[in-house]
Structure 1
Amino acid sequence: MSDALLKTPIRQPGFPDTPPMTVRSHDAHSNQSRKVLVFAYFRSGSTFTSATLSRLNGSFFAFEPLHVLYEFLMETHRVLDFMNGKIQPPLVQGFEGAYKVSLIQALLTCDLYNVDISTLLLGFLPKFSWQIQHFQECIRNAPGSRDSKYSSSCVDSLKQMCISAPVRIVKTIRLSMETVGRMLDDIPDLKVIHLIRDPRGQFGSGARHSKRNVQLFQHKVCNKVTNDVKTRLELEQRHPNSFLEVIYEDLAHNPQHTVQKMYDFLGLTLPPYVIQWIKESTSAETDDNGYLATKRSNSTEAAYRWLSYVPWNYVVFFQTRCTWLLKHGNFPFFEKKEDMKQFVIPCRPLVR
């Protein structure tokens, strides 16, 4: 990458003329970036939730960094190589926990020489991160031999973007809450947004309707989320003010109010351009934009769409097997099928 390109100011796509991000006055003396972990689950609205934060000017965002670990590195039994020359043997299923912690912590603390090269170059990271896109462009344009492909100047440039970012965000669906507890011991100023969705809607959004799938989903999702919530409640005793629970249905029903709570939790001011993006992304003025979606033509209707097609016997199954979680999230219970059909979806307040 040329020196001229390295020195060129980089603007975040979509908001070329937005003002600098504002920080609450009581935190203005701090020069530390806020470190945010969006802890979520499959089909729980995590892409949109994390996007409401990553839209901040200059934010550093790592989208699903563990995807490459599970879908590529462990499947192919590849060694992990790093920019600092370190090589790590292939990870074995069930023994990858320590590396997951170190990888997330490296991204949150800008220790990018301890992020394996495959994670930086493959997977979902560049999809929602303009800094990673610039990093990969730098790698592609690195002059010279194959060795210079992984030019340290590219990593140094990315690291500087990370260090200077007012907020660093990692979003993942591949952690346990026990792992987060270990992270908080090393990063005590870490802020964790724990995103939860009604498991019936989660199932309806992402699974084919079969008896095997509903039982597998109950085991992998209901039990896991329940354990995570209970673990988090214990962690909150040792780490007060480190967690914010966000219910996806609340976000879909009243997005501006819920996002405002998230920004308050982080001590940030919610800028007008993010409010405008929320309005455009959750109203009937736009179209849904696919599987990894940040836009819904009607976010409230999308959150409760499962009511119209998830079979009644599966609803009963979840209400029996996921009772604790449903009560914790204050999700509606239905005594009979007719109650589900007559359920009134809340009217969504306008985003102004």
Structure 2
Amino acid sequence: MTGGKGIFKYLKVLTFTSMLFLLYILCFGNLEVKREPRNPAVRSTTPRSYVSTNNGRHRVRKILVVAYQRSGSTFTSEILQHGDTTAFFSMEPLWQTYRTCQRHVNGICCPNNTCRSPLYHKEEINNTLSVFRAIYSCNFEALSYEVLKSFATFASTGHEYVKKLKCFNNEHWKEQGFSSYYDCIENLTRLCKSSSTIIIKTIRIDIRLANMLRTLLDNLYIVHLVRDPRAILHSRTKAGTITRDSMDKQSKALCSMMYKNFEDASQDEDIYTLLYEQLALKPQKVVKQLYKFCDLNFTTNASEWLQSFTNISWESMLQQRFLAKHHGVFSPYPKRSFEVSRKWRKTIFVKVNEIIQNSCNAILGVLGLRVFKGVKELRNLSINVLDAMDRE
């Protein structure tokens, strides 16, 4: 009898619970859960078994090179890779996503000085962080086609293998070689996980955004590479990468951004600002300082390699440049670094030089670069652009 009453009591409680659950469904079942917009640069996939985070691994040194188009960033990245025999390098992972534009905390800005606001709150921080975090943690399957394509296009680590298998050549990889896609993912993952230093080079974020990322990514070293804006714009002109806007507008856009970045970097001792002209003039001294900042070892082998990479004969340099074209866009090759760094002065139009100098006076001043007074001073290569003598 007592057992029957117990069962009856249990059924009453069960019925009451079911009614409450039904009432909850009727009242709240149609409510939508608000979600953040999906990041178009990162696929929301669950990593395969061979893709994992760095948990359990040694502490990985993360280096981020923030630069400008035609500023010597590929040259600098190659030098950084020789500071660690197992370095992994990712070149321009944001390239296909925003092309020649830059990501700022407050939106997207392009070379013609036009900007747009973020599509949603913290868009640029979240998008950039998700891409960089995936690379620094060797989680390549989390990356979209737009990001992975950079490994097929540029001289990143694993480029030759990716190029051979044609893994990321187009967005329809699932239809045209699904197995080769995962072969490339596995190869990149293996190379990355065996590295104690992972380097990302980008011309598509500003220093303020990079600094915010540093608070979210542990053990991150930021290198801000700057170059004489006259050399940058002359190189862009030769490469056909300038816009249709006037040189005055383009130079103002570049130099205002460079000046703001320089100011932001100067206020933080954890950001290393590297002047390309100083690197080209005194590579051994400057690279030793750069390695010290990044906690890299400036070994005898690194020193000897640097000597051969920055002081080669003109004939050998031309041969190496021809061979480099077969290894991907912007593949680095040995140069006479000092001669190359000032070559622009021989061919830049005098009027163009004057326009850039007028637009970029502020950044030229803080970088300690000479403002040339006339064509004779411009063409006279015995006058060092870094030499402060004879200035008013």
TM norm structure 2: 0.65
> 1:175 matched to which residue of 2?
205
Is 2:337 the counterpart of 1:304? Answer: no
Match of 1:67 among 95, 105, 123: 95
Quote how far apart the aligned CAs of 1:323 are: 1.5
AA paired with 1:54? Answer: Q
Deviations 1:142-184 (A, max 9, x none): xx99554543x75355334323311100011111122112211
> 2:129 matched to which residue of 1?
101
> 2:36 matched to which residue of 1?
none
Alignment gaps of 5+ in structure 2:
1-56, 101-115, 168-174, 386-392
Distance in 1, Cα, partners of 2:187 & 2:117? 33
Is 2:223 the counterpart of 1:193? Answer: yes
Quote how far apart the aligned CAs of 1:190 are: 0.8
Distance in 2, Cα, partners of 1:65 & 1:338? 42
> 1:128 matched to which residue of 2?
155
Deviations 1:312-348 (A, max 9, x none): 222222222212211111111223333223352559x
AA paired with 2:67? Answer: A
CA contact (8 A) 1:177 1:228 kept: yes
Deviations 1:90-132 (A, max 9, x none): xx99546232332123212323232214422x23556423435
Greater mean deviation of Cα atoms: 191-200 or 272-281: 272-281
Is 2:276 the counterpart of 1:248? Answer: yes
CA gap of 1:296–1:93, structure 2 versus 1, over 3 A, is farther
Alignment gaps of 5+ in structure 1:
1-29, 73-91, 348-352
Quote how far apart the aligned CAs of 1:211 are: 9.3
Distance in 1, Cα, partners of 2:196 & 2:243? 46
Quote how far apart the aligned CAs of 1:219 are: 3.2
Classify the secondary structure of the residue corresponding to 1:207. helix
Classify the secondary structure of the residue corresponding to 2:71. coil
Quote how far apart the aligned CAs of 1:135 are: 5.8
CA contact (8 A) 2:252 2:359 kept: no
Distance in 2, Cα, partners of 1:145 & 1:196? 41
Matched ranges for 1:116-265 at <5 A: 116-120=144-148, 122-124=149-151, 127-134=154-161, 147-151=178-182, 155-156=185-186, 158-207=188-237, 212-234=245-267, 236=268, 240=269, 242-265=270-293
Deviations 1:230-258 (A, max 9, x none): 22234x1xxx4x21111101111111222
CA contact (8 A) 1:35 1:190 kept: yes
Classify the secondary structure of the residue corresponding to 1:43. coil
> 2:67 matched to which residue of 1?
40
Quote how far apart the aligned CAs of 1:199 are: 0.5
Aligned CA-pair RMSD:
3.4
Distance in 2, Cα, partners of 1:182 & 1:54? 24
CA contact (8 A) 2:91 2:151 kept: yes
Match of 2:359 among 297, 321, 332: 321
CA contact (8 A) 2:151 2:162 kept: no
Distance in 2, Cα, partners of 1:65 & 1:211? 26
CA contact (8 A) 2:60 2:219 kept: no
Percent of matched pairs sharing the same residue? 24
Distance in 1, Cα, partners of 2:303 & 2:264? 33
CA contact (8 A) 1:59 1:166 kept: yes
Greater mean deviation of Cα atoms: 55-64 or 267-276: 267-276
Deviations 1:13-41 (A, max 9, x none): xxxxxxxxxxxxxxxxx931110001111
Larger radius of gyration: 2
Quote how far apart the aligned CAs of 1:200 are: 0.8
Classify the secondary structure of the residue corresponding to 2:59. coil
AA paired with 2:200? Answer: V
Distance in 1, Cα, partners of 2:355 & 2:253? 14
AA paired with 1:329? Answer: L
Greater mean deviation of Cα atoms: 287-296 or 63-72: 287-296
Distance in 2, Cα, partners of 1:125 & 1:249? 30
Greater mean deviation of Cα atoms: 93-102 or 63-72: 93-102
TM norm structure 1: 0.72
